[in-house]
Chain A
């Protein structure tokens, strides 16, 4: 039997050659499985405990978002994007609004930009907290889940006070914001920052040097930077493999170029490094929020956009650094009130493709860890 580690991960011919060898076992995992974070089905090919390869079956949550977009006006489609990556709805909204703004050649006013950045970074922390809690739970550490959900609640409270919704926020509008920041918004954000800083230390205390955590994550699900690029993997996964690339820095959008922050990278591209990268990202997000909340200018929060939006004929691709990676919108306008085509480039979908490469040669139990570390949201994978 060939050692699965010797199979080049990107060699697309190999899997079928070894398929159904006498020692092989094909096991179905999901779609109803607590550790697949939704309805993901994975068909595993095993040699004993060892994974020889796997195939993902997706689409259980497909709602045809792109088709819906073609039958809605630009404004009407805005809330739908929240339902893709529903744990980072604010990021989805930011990407969509900015893409349409680009088509319209308008820019949100500075005050709106600052509030947008604050909410988006808060959402990044919330998304990473949810990831950490569930990922640790999958691996067997139950406590972090309670800690992260307790603290994430504070972010959701700010969202709720700001726009009335906690999860699918629909926080932004094309051209800026609908709602002015409520009285005491800045203070709430400042309080949150000082509240959550020691909490992140707390998570790290539980995990970073925990022997079980190290055993379960170090050297698990390794992927090289080169493979990441070939597979289009972005976000923390790419950075943990040593590629220092973040769209907030590389192709800045919103007003990120005004803020000072670092891009964390890892060295080994394993589950542990991805964990560390996300922990640093949370702290860096807090840094951005601290700077932004002190600099919110006065002024309007809505740019001049026509009530009936008819972007001029053309097409635009705009992408942002969502908590999970590059979230892109490719929008084609035919000059009418409805988009002619909206394509969403979902980070979860593309990242999930790397699952096969990352799991080969690992143990079955590690598949759970790797699914967790990829941080996928099936609502976004299937759209």
Chain B
């Protein structure tokens, strides 16, 4: 049963772990060191403080040390899975740019701008939401709303992260805007700002039950009308479905 896969791939105890990283480079042909004839050689692995590949190569010290302190601080309230002990990956750093400085001047502490894995995002206060997005489009040329989505953290007080992925053709820059809302809170729709938000918000509503005020036609998009429950919430099991709907509309007993 799929639910059990949670426990299936239990990692071996860290101490016994052989350098698993040496995945066989697959047979077939003699592998000499990369010959210098390639342009791609100029590429370098991003120099992160401690790339996760280190996790396995020197396993013993990692196992001996207690939970590294930095791992926890960066973690969002991890629901479901217990946070495993492991060396910290790269942590988000403050993101400084003229754009951020400008926004901070107008909105002050409502904006927390961070950069992580080379990607910039800002965590903003919910109250700034339509205004800030409008400003980003009108004044900062973020004219393309790539995606709108949500993440559910049931153990948090404000259960949902809403994420807008924005792109500016003029600046060739992609950023993410994130805000948090509680379960019964709604958000102003961004359809007046980007027409593409129409279906994207409908999908967020369909999957998470988050309402967008002022949306022209907020109804389910992928699931049938009349379906009960919001599947991408963490409390919606993977085998769960609206049995009543299935019986009435499909005339079959649920096989699940």
Contacts and interface: CB of A to CB of B under 8 A. Distances in A.
Given A64-B231, A110-B40, A300-B25, A335 B71 contact: yes
Interface in B1-37: 2-3, 5-6, 9, 11-12, 20-29, 31-35, 37
Contacts of B45: 105-107
A207 to B, nearest CB: 31
A94 interface: no
Interface string A341-362: 1010100011001000000000
B66 interface: no
B117 A102 contact: yes
Interface stretch (A147-155, A276-284, A314-322): A314-322
Contact of B29 (A180, A231, A297): A180
Contacts of B248: none
A308 B56 CA distance: 10
A307 B23 contact: yes
A302 interface: yes
Nearest to B176: A317
Interface in A263-314: 295, 297-308, 310-314
Among A68, A107, A313, the one with the most B-chain Cβ atoms within 10 Å of its Cβ is: A313
A379 interface: no
A306 B29 contact: no
A12 interface: yes
Interface string A220-249: 000000010111110000000001010000
A133 interface: no
A72 B40 CA distance: 33
A340 B151 contact: yes
B169 interface: yes
B165 interface: yes
Contacts of A144: none
B46 A310 contact: no
Nearest to B143: A229
A353 B221 CA distance: 12
A356 to B, nearest CB: 10
B196 A349 contact: no
Contacts of B143: 229-230
A107 B52 contact: no
B40 A258 contact: yes
Nearest to B192: A12
Contacts of B110: none
Nearest to B41: A110
A336 B76 CA distance: 12
Given A62-B222, A301-B26, A334 B89 contact: no
Given A71-B3, A336-B84, A232 B145 contact: yes
B194 A336 contact: no
Interface in B89-130: 89-90, 92, 116-119
Contact of A313 (B25, B71, B151): B71
A106 B145 contact: no
A212 B43 CA distance: 50
Given A103-B117, A178-B26, A231 B195 contact: yes
A70 B21 CA distance: 24
Contacts of A102: 117-118
Given A232-B196, A335-B71, A306 B56 contact: yes
Interface in B200-248: 200, 203, 207, 216, 220-224, 231-232, 236, 238
Nearest to A177: B26
What are the 4 A-B residue pairs with the smallest beta carbon separation, nearest first? A312-B89, A232-B196, A304-B21, A299-B34
18 contacts: A64-B238, A67-B238, A68-B2, A68-B238, A73-B5, A229-B169, A232-B195, A250-B172, A251-B172, A313-B78, A328-B165, A332-B151, A335-B78, A335-B86, A337-B11, A343-B149, A345-B147, A353-B198
Given A179-B26, A304-B22, 15 more contacts: A10-B195, A67-B231, A72-B5, A106-B51, A180-B28, A232-B200, A251-B172, A297-B38, A300-B31, A306-B52, A306-B56, A314-B90, A316-B119, A336-B82, A336-B84
Interface of B: 2-3, 5-6, 9, 11-12, 20-29, 31-35, 37-41, 43, 45-46, 48, 51-53, 55-57, 71, 74-76, 78-84, 86, 88-90, 92, 116-119, 143-147, 149, 151-152, 163, 165, 169, 172, 174, 176, 191, 194-196, 198-200, 203, 207, 216, 220-224, 231-232, 236, 238
